[in-house]
């Protein structure tokens, strides 16, 4: 299970690095930054709707909160668990935010107001890199589903001894 988590993190990192690299290459090929500081000019209702959609995307990017208590239960003292978790969560959120924001800024600078929802769908060259990134996405999602299913099965096995007979 630890191998699956590690592999998923590495693939996620490489997938975003490919998007970041392709975005920087597109900015260099244009020779200018696209987009504006004010963003797309829409009606106030559309801007509000887009802001709420962005908040949903941000919330989806930080879905780790459900496992924080389980992780904290596995920690040993000393140091106290709450101090360790506070530091680890701070560093994790900071690194994730910096990385996601850099990908978002580079994507907007590369495509301007016509930036796609998925950065990788905006590139029509470098098919090999895009295919590799898409392969990483598939492996990442399969690994994430297996990890979730494994944790669910273990929890069900703890509740019902009949389920634990089904799990190898």
Closest residue by Cα to residue 114 from 18, 12, 21, 26: 26
- 35 pLDDT tier (thresholds 50, 70, 90): confident
Domain ranges, residue 111? 2-166
Query: Could you tell me the pLDDT band of residue 138, with boundaries at 50, 70 and 90?
Result: confident
Task: Say how far apart CA 146 and CA 15 lie, in whole Å.
Answer: 19
Distance CA 117, CA 104 (A): 10
115 is written with which tokens?
């930036």
Q: Is residue 42 scored above 80 in pLDDT?
A: yes
Question: φ and ψ at 166, to 5 degrees?
Answer: -80, -25
Give the tens place of pLDDT for each residue, 141-168: 777 666 555 555 455 445 555 545 555 5
Position with higher pLDDT, 144 vs 62? 62
Task: Report the number of distinct structural domains present in the chain.
Answer: 1
How many other CB atoms are found less than 10 A from the CB of residue 166? 10
8 pLDDT more than 80 = no
What sign does the CA torsion over 124, 47, 105, 4 have? negative
pLDDT of res. 28: 92
Query: Cα angle vertex 50, ends 49, 51, to 5°?
Result: 90
Burial zone of 18 (CB within 10 Å; 0-12 exposed, 13-18 middle, 19+ buried): buried
- pTM for the predicted model, two decimal places: 0.68
pLDDT at position 37, please? 78
Residue predicted with more confidence, 109 or 1 = 109
Phi, psi of 41 (to 5 degrees): -90, 105
pLDDT score at 54 = 84
């Amino acid at each position: 299970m630890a191998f699956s988590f590690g592999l998923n993190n590495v693939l996620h990192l490489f997938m975003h690095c490919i998007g970041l690299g392709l975005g920087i290459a597109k900015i260099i090929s244009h020779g200018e930054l696209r987009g504006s500081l004010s963003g797309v000019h829409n009606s106030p209702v559309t801007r509000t709707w887009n802001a709420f959609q962005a908040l949903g995307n941000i919330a989806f990017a930080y879905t780790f909160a459900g496992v924080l208590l389980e992780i904290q239960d596995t920690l040993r003292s000393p140091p106290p668990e709450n101090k360790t978790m506070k530091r680890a969560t701070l560093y994790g959120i900071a690194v994730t935010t910096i990385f996601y924001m850099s990908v978002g800024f580079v994507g907007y600078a590369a495509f301007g107001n016509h930036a796609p929802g998925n950065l990788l769908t905006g590139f029509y060259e470098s098919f090999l890199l895009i295919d590799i990134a898409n392969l990483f996405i598939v492996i990442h999602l399969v690994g994430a589903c297996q990890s979730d299913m494994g944790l669910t099965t273990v929890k069900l096995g703890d509740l019902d001894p009949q389920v634990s007979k089904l799990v190898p």
